[in-house]
Amino acid sequence: MIFNHTIIDNLPTSSGSLRPKSSSLIFVAVFIILLSTFASGLIKILIRQYLSPLRRLRCPPIPSMLWGNLMDMHDQENNYLIDRWEEEYGPVFAFRGFLSGSRLMTTDIRAVAYILGNAYDYPKPDFVRDGLASMAAGHDGLLTTEGEQHTRQRKILQPAFSASSLRAVTPVFWEKAAEIRDIWSALAEQQQESHRYDAKDEKHWSKGAKLDVLAWLGRATLDVIGLAGFGYSFDALSDNSNALADAFAAVFATASTFRFMIILATWFPILRKFRREESSEKHMRKTIRDISLQLIDERRAAAQIDAQEALAKKSEGDIHSYSPEPGQARDLLGLLMRSNFAVASHLRMSTSEILCQISTFIAAGHETSASALTWTLYALAKSPEVQSKLRASFRPLQSIPIGDPQLDDELTRLPYLDWVVREVLRLHSPVTNTMRVCKKAHDAIPVGAPGGYLDRDGQRRTSIEIKKGDIISVPIQAINRSRVIWGPDAREFRPERWAEASQSRCAVPGLWSNILTFLNGNTVNGNRSCIGYKFAILE
């Protein structure tokens, strides 16, 4: 083989030589393989879509045979598209995706409870998991794992969100709230100084300072998750040119844009291998990995001692053997590191899993909170009367110093604050939609709407027939804003609604407060609800 290779290397490369022909043949062979892969994949898609029982559902008009309704749906949280479709087609209907394939859309509460409750039978589609993994979560993080691996990880991580663990990190919230308040005050004052008006010229009256609230809150929540979750200071608030904060902002902004290549890669996985990674994405991934490895090295010795002490006190194999003891770190990293030294394999996380958990919680734990806080300030700015009531409810607590546990306790007892938080998270869910795929060969999803629903042929049905590979969209925000559930003023910001009893909203299987913002609380086969929802609410 070496001899032949040497001969070929010494052949002439002029026109008519063997080397150009050989290269051309390789190119043609690769092209044929890719073309045949594409063609066979396309045929499989068309056959599966043709045989899908979802074709029997009513659906809105199809603007494009290639892209279906996808372009219309890209801005669904702002244009009330799902609401309009629900009014016309009922709580169960289909919309069209790539190559006009039918996808299930349902706002029926019983159907949604069934789908989300059987999370391992209806997991995230592979293309969604790959997208989350590429954005920072990795393939071994809590957001992207399924089945036994996901169950094990969730059990290990759960103690980080206990009441005592959350109370321990509350000072971080206060610290960052005060820091961002001071920064905003200083920026507002600077802008006022630079726009001093001439009393004789009213057109120069300043109308207030302008701040990019989402960008600043993204920095604040990045600092919070770093300190509260991992004992690490990103210094995103104090460093105006923080590269990691800028990279996160760029990645999440890119993720919200409509890209045809992403849709093609959804159905032709081979295209994902040729996906061009943005420089901001590369930088973010490298920075998080470097920080994670540094944190692991720093905590490894302490975690090993903690695990040995826990084993000496408690029986081997008990999941609680690795819960934090008094004096041990209660943050996420502490739990992750102790799990790495667990004797029983079902209690242990590998280094790869730990790295993915760190990146998952850094990415998901700060972006969604920043979005919710931004919408909170927006809602209050648009409702001065609500803002005044909320301020008035705080005034009796001004004599209690920040840092006093009594203040934290008193805040949780303020009904109007509770109503405002609930109403914001109902009206402005940070995650507006979630996708699932059926993994069963066949299934019949029960429907709770009185009298069922009408299919395309006008037949009334009480369940939704579905096959393996069929995709489902659960419109979280549309259900949270449903007039059927929340009344005719469902789209209005009205915290007082939470003082009123409502039978219709009690049917919503939400994890918290009968809203789907943190997904469902009725776990049957797999729990995919937000593990950090108490952390988010407190923040």
Give the pLDDT of residue 11.
Answer: 37
**CATH class label, 161-382:** mainly alpha
E-only strand ranges, 381-500? 434-437, 442-446, 453-454, 460-461, 463-467, 471-474
DSSP-derived secondary structure letter, 135: I
Using pLDDT thresholds of 50, 70 and 90, give the confidence band for residue 333. Answer: confident
Q: How confident is the model at residue 5 (pLDDT cuts 50, 70, 90)?
A: very low
* 379 in Cβ contact with 153 (< 8 Å): no
User: Which stretch of 205-214, 376-385, 518-527 has the lowest confidence by average pLDDT?
Assistant: 205-214
- Model confidence at 25: pLDDT above 80: no
**Structure confidence by residue, pLDDT tens digits, 166-213:** 999 999 999 999 999 999 999 998 887 776 554 445 554 456 778 999
Give the pLDDT band (50/70/90) at residue 36. Answer: low
Higher-pLDDT residue of 8, 139: 139
Q: What is the pLDDT of residues 451-477, one digit of tens each?
A: 999 999 999 999 999 999 999 999 999
Assign domain 52-136+426-538 to a CATH class.
Answer: alpha beta
Q: With 60 as the cut, is the pLDDT of residue 100 above it?
A: yes
Residue ranges of domains in the chain: 2-47, 52-136+426-538, 161-382
Q: What is the mean pLDDT of residues 420-446?
A: 96
State what percent of residues in the chain have pLDDT above 70: 79
Element (H, E) at 512: strand 510-512
> Residue type at 365?
G
Do the bridges between strand 442-446 and strand 463-467 make them parallel or antiparallel, or are there none, so unpaired?
antiparallel
Whether 52-136+426-538 shares its CATH topology with 161-382 is answered no
Percent of the chain with pLDDT over 90: 51
Quick one: which of 213, 152, 155 has its CA closest to 188?
213
Task: Kindly state the helix (H) or strand (E) to which residue 457 belongs, with its residue range.
Answer: none
How far is residue 470 from each of residues 140, 322, 327, 519, measured CA to CA in Å? 25, 40, 50, 21
Of 117-131, 288-302, 452-466, which range is least confident? 288-302
Is the pLDDT score of 21 beyond 70?
A: no
Q: Rounded CA gap, 102 and 91, in Å?
A: 16
Question: Which residue would you say has higher pLDDT here, 85 or 22?
Answer: 85
Nearest to 362 by CA among 441, 289, 455, 448: 289
Residue 530 annotated as lining a ligand binding site: yes
Report pLDDT for 284.
78
Phi then psi for residue 434, to 5 deg, are -135, 145
| Confidence at 363, pLDDT banded by 50, 70, 90 | confident
Looking at residue 418, the DSSP 8-state letter turns out to be H
Pull the structure tokens for residue 140: 């071994």
The larger pLDDT score, comparing residue 268 to residue 131, is at 131
What pLDDT is recorded for position 261? Answer: 58
Q: What confidence score (pLDDT) does residue 196 get?
A: 59
- The pLDDT value given to residue 15: 45
Q: Which band of pLDDT confidence, cut at 50, 70 and 90, is reported for residue 301?
A: confident
Q: CA 170, CA 167: separation in Å to the nearest integer?
A: 5
- Position 15: which residue type? S
Q: What is the pLDDT of residue 278?
A: 61
Q: Is the pLDDT of residue 412 over 60?
A: yes
**N-terminal to C-terminal alpha carbon distance within the chain:** 66
Per-residue pLDDT band for 328 (boundaries 50, 70, 90) equals: very low
Mean pLDDT highest for which of 59-68, 156-165, 487-496? Answer: 487-496
| Residues in a beta bridge with 94 | 104
* CA distance readout (Å), 342 to 11, 64, 151, 337, 347: 61, 54, 16, 9, 6
